[in-house]
Structure 1
Amino acid sequence: MIPVSRSLTVRVLLMATLWSAVSLITIALVISAFYRQGVERGFNNLLRAQLYNVINSVSIGDGDSLSGSPELGDLRFSQPETGWYWLVEPLGNFSAAPLASTSLGMAELAVPSLEQVPFDEHYERFYPMVDAAGNKILVAETEVVLDGGDRAARFRVSGNVDVVEEEIGFFSTRLYAGLALFGIGGLVVNGLAILIGLKPLDRARRALEKIRGGEAERIEGDYPREIQPLANEINALIESNRRIVERARMQVGNLAHSLKTPIAVLLNEARGLDKAQGEVVRSQAEAMQAQVGTYLNRARIAAQRDSVLARCEAEPVLERLVRVMRRLNPQVDFTLEVAPGLAFAMEQQDVEETVGNLLENAARFAVSRVVLVAMAATHEPQTVGEGARRGWIEVTVEDDGPGLAPEQIGEALKRGKRLDESKPGTGLGLSIVKEISSEYQGAFGLSRAQIGGLKATLLLPAVTRDTA
C-alpha cells in the first residue's frame, strides 16, 4: 500500500484545511481586534457624553458652593460600588465642597499626575484605575472654568470596564462559533469538490488495471482536458511497446528460421562421418542449437520483460504441464497445488520452459512422487531493483529422489553440467531456468526437499491489481 502521506487527495485536503484554518483564525483575530477598537471607542464616547452632561449640570450657587444634580439616566450612578461614578472637585483658591454621585459615596478617585497621563488637544484625558471595590474602571477627566472669576473645577466620570469585556466576549463567542461552522462546512465542500475532481484519475487508474490484467489493450473513455493528454500519451506508449515486442518476436523468429536449416544440415552430415568425428560434430551442433535457442529466448524476454501486456494465468498452464508429465511418467505421482487468482507477468512459453524443465528434472530423479506448489510470495528477490514489479509468485518443485549435497548445488546450475551421466539429458535445463528467471528479475535456488529429494524454488513476477 502507498503511504497516506503520498496520497494526492490527502495532500490537497491537508493544504485546504491548513489554508482554511489559517485564514479563519486570521479573520477572527482581525474582526475581534476591530470590534474591540469600536467598542472601546464607543465606551470612551459614552463617558465623554456623560462627562459633558455633568459639566452642563453643575454651577456655582449661593455661598460660593458647587451646586447641581446631574441626571445621567443610568441607575448605576446611584448604586454603590458599581464602578460608575461622577465627581466634581474645586481647583485652586476655590474651596467649595466637592460634588459626587451616590454610587461613589465617601470613596475617592486617585488622580494621576499630568506627566503620567497628559491632557489631549481637547483638554481631556482618559486613564484606567481600580476603585476601592476592586472594579476596573476607565475615568474621563477634564477641567472647566465655571465663572468670570476664574473659579474652576475638575470633572471626572468613570465607567466599569467589565461592560466592555462582556460585550466583546459575547461577540467573540458567536464570531468564533460562526466561523468554525463556516470552516467545517467549507472543508466538507472542499473535500467533496476534491474527491469529485479527482474521479477521472481514479477512472484512469482502473483503466490501467484492466490493461495490466489483460482485460483491455488501451485506455478508453472521455477525460477532462487536464487528464486527456496523459491518457493519450499512455495509449501511445502502450502501442509503441506493442510494436517493439512484435518487431522483436519477428526478428527472433527470422533468426531462428535462418539458423534452423544450417544446424540441421550439420547434424545430418555428422551421421555420415566416422563415429569419433561424427560424435564431435553432432555434440557441437547440438550445443550450438541449444545456445542459439537460449540466447534467442533471452533476446525475446528482454524485449518484452517490462511489457504491461505480458500475462499468463497460473492454474491452467501448470495443470497442462502436470498433465503432460503424468502421461510421460506414469510411474510417478504428481501433486499440484495452485493458489487461486494467480497470474504470471510473463509470456506463457517462458513459464512453460522454466517450470517444465524443473518438472522434467524432478521426474527424472524422483522415486515415486513430485510436488508442484504455486502461491503468492511473501518476499521479493534480493536483486530486485527500484521500480520493479511489486508482486511475486513462488513456485516450488520437490521430488523424493536422492537430492544433491550442498557442494553439488552450485555445480548443477552451471551450463551443460551433468552430475549424473546415467540419466538422459543435456545438462542445460537448470541453467536455462536460472537465466530466464534472472531476465525477469526473479530468483532461482535449490535446497533439500521435505519429502527427501531436491527442492527447486522459483520467484517469478506476478500480475497484481494492487495499485492503490
Structure 2
Amino acid sequence: MGPRSLTVRVLLLATVWYAAALVTIAVVISALYRQGAERAFNDLLRAQLYNVINSVSIGDGDSLSGSPSLGDLRFSQPETGWYWLVEPLGNFAAAPMASTSLGTANLPVPSTEETPFDQSYERFYGMSDEFGNRLRVAETEVILDEGGRAARFRVSGNLISVEEEIQAFSTRLYAALAVFGFGGLLVNGLAILYGLKPLDRARRALEAIRGGEAERIEGQFPREIEPLANEINALIDSNRRIVERARMQVGNLAHSLKTPIAVLLNESRVLKKPHGEVVKSQAEAMQAQVASYLNRARIAAQRESVLARCEADPVLERLTRVMRRLNPDKEFELDVAAPGLVFAMEQQDLEETIGNLLENAARYAASRVKVAVGVAASGEEGVDPARRQWIEVTIEDDGPGLEPDQIVEALKRGRRLDESKPGTGLGLSIVKEISTEYQGAFGLSRAISGGLRARLLLPGVSKDAA
C-alpha cells in the first residue's frame, strides 16, 4: 500500500515525477540539439560543396580545371576526413580532381536506390573512409557546359567534430539540470514540509487532548484542514455528551437504589439471626457496589478534564501519617523520588486508591510498609502511549505475600482470601477499576522481602502542563 506517512508519500511522488521530468527534458533537449547540430553540419557541407562547384570548370584540353579555396586547413591535411572530390560522368573522360587531404584514396559511391537525391538534386549520406573516420558526405551532379558534360561533386566532413560538440553540450546540459534538479527537489521538499506543517500541529493538538492537556483542538488552521478540526471537535463534544448522559443514568440508578438498600440494612437489624446477618451482608455488598459504580461514573466524566489535578506529596504524606496513627506497631516509609509530581486525577480517587492499598498492606504486614513514588519509564505496557507522563507508585509489605494463583483470586471483586480479617473483599478490585478508568495499570507481585508488592501506574501531568 506504500508508505504510511503522508509526507513521505508526497515527497516520494514529487521526487519521482521531478526526476522523470528532468530526464525527459534532458533527452528531448539533447535530441533537438543533435538534430540542430546535424542540420547545421549539413548546411556547412552544402556551402562547401557549392564553393567547389563555383571553383571548377572545363579548361583547355577538355580537362577539369580550378583551384577550390574553402578556407579550411583540414582540406589540405591528410587523413582528416575533410575532403572534396570532383569526378567526370558519362563520356566525359577527364581526370578527377580531389583535395590534398584525400591523396590517392577514393570514396565509394552508394547507389541512388539506397540513397536517392532530393528535390534539389542533393543527397547526404554517411560512410567511413580508409582511415577509420566517420564521414558525412554532401553530393550533387552538375552539367559543366553546353555540350552536356557533367561531373559528380562531393564534399565530406568528419563527424567527430559534431559528436564532440554534442557531447560537450550534453555534459553541460546534464550538469546544469542536475544542479537545477537538486535545488528544485530541495525547494520542493521544503515547500511540501511547510505545506503539511498544519497537519503536524493538528496531530500535536490531538496528542494534547489524549494526554489530558486540552479538551478541544485549538488554533488557526488552513481552509483545507479547518473542516477536519471542526469535525473532530464536534465528535469530542458528542462523545462527551454521550459519556455525561451515561454517567447521569448510572448515577440516577445508583441513587435510586440507595434508599431501598438503606431500608434493607435497617430491617436486617431487627431480623433474627442468621437471616438478619445474611440480609445485612448482602445489603452492605450492594451498597459497596453502588458506591463503586458512582465513583466510576464520576471518574469517566472527569478523567479527560484538564481540571483534574492532584499534588502527590501532601496526599501521600497525609495518608502515611494516618496509617502510622492507626498502626503504631508498624513502620511506614515514604520515598518520593521526584518531588513536585502532579497526578492527572481527582484527589478523592487518589486517596481511595492509595488508601485501600495501604490498609491492605498494614493488615498483613509484619512490621514494615514501604511506599515509593517516581516517574515511570517510557514505553510501559498496558498504558496509553499518547500521555507524556506516567507516575509509578509501589507499596510493599513484609507480610506472608501471595502466590500467583492467589493474586488472581484477590483481584476478583468480592473475593477474600482470609476470612478472619475484616473487610468486604472489594478493596483491590476498586483499585484496579479506578486505575483502569484513568487508563493506567495495576498489578500485584511478590516483594523482595517476601511480602506483597502492589504497583500502580497512574496518569501524571508534565510541569509545563501543570
| TM-score in terms of structure 2 length | 0.85
Choose from 391, 411, 414 the match for 1:413: 411
What amino acid maps onto 1:399 in structure 2?
D
Deviates more, 1:434-443 or 1:444-453: 434-443
| 2:353–2:431 contact (8 Å) kept in structure 1 | yes
Over 3 Å counting, the alpha-carbon distance change for 1:464 and 1:56 in structure 2 is farther
Partner residue, 1:90: 88
Instruction: Give the Cα–Cα distance (whole angstroms) in 2 for the partners of residues 314 and 12 of structure 1.
Output: 46
- SS where residue 83 of structure 1 aligns? coil
Measured after TM superposition, the shift of residue 43 of structure 1 is: 0.7
Instruction: Give the Cα–Cα distance (whole angstroms) in 1 for the partners of residues 25 and 348 of structure 2.
Output: 68
Partner residue, 2:362: 363
What amino acid maps onto 2:65 in structure 1?
S
- Overall identity of the aligned pairs, in %: 76
Partner residue, 1:39: 37
Please list, as runs of the form range in 1=range in 2, the aligned pairs for 1:442-461 lying within 5 A after superposition.
444-458=442-456
| 2:310–2:345 contact (8 Å) kept in structure 1 | no
Measured after TM superposition, the shift of residue 71 of structure 1 is: 1.8
Measured after TM superposition, the shift of residue 37 of structure 1 is: 0.6
- SS where residue 274 of structure 2 aligns? helix
Per-residue CA shift, 1:370-392, capped at 9, x if unaligned? 344552364423xx8xxx65556
- SS where residue 129 of structure 1 aligns? strand
Measured after TM superposition, the shift of residue 209 of structure 1 is: 4.4
- SS where residue 121 of structure 1 aligns? coil
Please list, as runs of the form range in 1=range in 2, the aligned pairs for 1:330-345 lying within 5 A after superposition.
330=328, 331-337=330-336
Over 3 Å counting, the alpha-carbon distance change for 1:313 and 1:47 in structure 2 is farther
- SS where residue 88 of structure 1 aligns? strand
Over 3 Å counting, the alpha-carbon distance change for 1:372 and 1:268 in structure 2 is farther
Per-residue CA shift, 1:317-347, capped at 9, x if unaligned? 6555545444444423233345679776666
| 2:379–2:385 contact (8 Å) kept in structure 1 | no
| TM-score in terms of structure 1 length | 0.85
Partner residue, 2:381: 380
- SS where residue 376 of structure 1 aligns? coil
Per-residue CA shift, 1:239-283, capped at 9, x if unaligned? 334434444444444333333333223222322333423212211
Choose from 431, 446, 450 the match for 1:433: 431
Give yes or no for the alignment of 1:81 onto 2:75: no
Partner residue, 1:404: 402
Q: Aligned pair count? A: 456
What amino acid maps onto 1:363 in structure 2?
A
Partner residue, 2:120: 122
Over 3 Å counting, the alpha-carbon distance change for 1:25 and 1:377 in structure 2 is closer
- Which runs of 5 or more residues in structure 2 are unaligned? none
Measured after TM superposition, the shift of residue 401 of structure 1 is: 0.6
| 1:363–1:370 contact (8 Å) kept in structure 2 | no
Over 3 Å counting, the alpha-carbon distance change for 1:439 and 1:84 in structure 2 is same
Choose from 218, 226, 229 the match for 1:228: 226
Give yes or no for the alignment of 1:283 onto 2:284: no
Measured after TM superposition, the shift of residue 109 of structure 1 is: 1.6
Deviates more, 1:313-322 or 1:99-108: 313-322
| 1:207–1:220 contact (8 Å) kept in structure 2 | yes
| 2:258–2:290 contact (8 Å) kept in structure 1 | no
- SS where residue 28 of structure 2 aligns? helix
Deviates more, 1:76-85 or 1:108-117: 108-117
Over 3 Å counting, the alpha-carbon distance change for 1:259 and 1:35 in structure 2 is same
Per-residue CA shift, 1:282-321, capped at 9, x if unaligned? 111111112223344455556677x475965674565555
Over 3 Å counting, the alpha-carbon distance change for 1:201 and 1:409 in structure 2 is closer
Choose from 9, 23, 26 the match for 1:25: 23
Per-residue CA shift, 1:14-57, capped at 9, x if unaligned? 33222222112211111111111111111111111211221222
Instruction: Give the Cα–Cα distance (whole angstroms) in 2 for the partners of residues 18 and 322 of structure 1.
Output: 65
| 2:317–2:334 contact (8 Å) kept in structure 1 | no
Instruction: Give the Cα–Cα distance (whole angstroms) in 1 for the partners of residues 248 and 113 of structure 2.
Output: 102
Measured after TM superposition, the shift of residue 127 of structure 1 is: 1.8
Over 3 Å counting, the alpha-carbon distance change for 1:38 and 1:463 in structure 2 is farther
Choose from 62, 65, 89 the match for 1:64: 62
Instruction: Give the Cα–Cα distance (whole angstroms) in 2 for the partners of residues 217 and 449 of structure 1.
Output: 40
Over 3 Å counting, the alpha-carbon distance change for 1:99 and 1:377 in structure 2 is closer
Measured after TM superposition, the shift of residue 105 of structure 1 is: 1.6
Please give the root-mean-square deviation of Cα atoms over the aligned residues, in Å: 3.3
Please list, as runs of the form range in 1=range in 2, the aligned pairs for 1:41-56 lying within 5 A after superposition.
41-56=39-54
Over 3 Å counting, the alpha-carbon distance change for 1:200 and 1:457 in structure 2 is same
Deviates more, 1:123-132 or 1:214-223: 214-223
Over 3 Å counting, the alpha-carbon distance change for 1:395 and 1:21 in structure 2 is same
Measured after TM superposition, the shift of residue 84 of structure 1 is: 0.9
| 1:129–1:136 contact (8 Å) kept in structure 2 | yes
Per-residue CA shift, 1:194-250, capped at 9, x if unaligned? 333334334434444444454444333333222222232233333334434444444
Over 3 Å counting, the alpha-carbon distance change for 1:276 and 1:110 in structure 2 is same
Deviates more, 1:361-370 or 1:453-462: 453-462
Give yes or no for the alignment of 1:293 onto 2:294: no
Choose from 234, 238, 253 the match for 1:255: 253
Instruction: Give the Cα–Cα distance (whole angstroms) in 1 for the partners of residues 207 and 357 of structure 2.
Output: 32
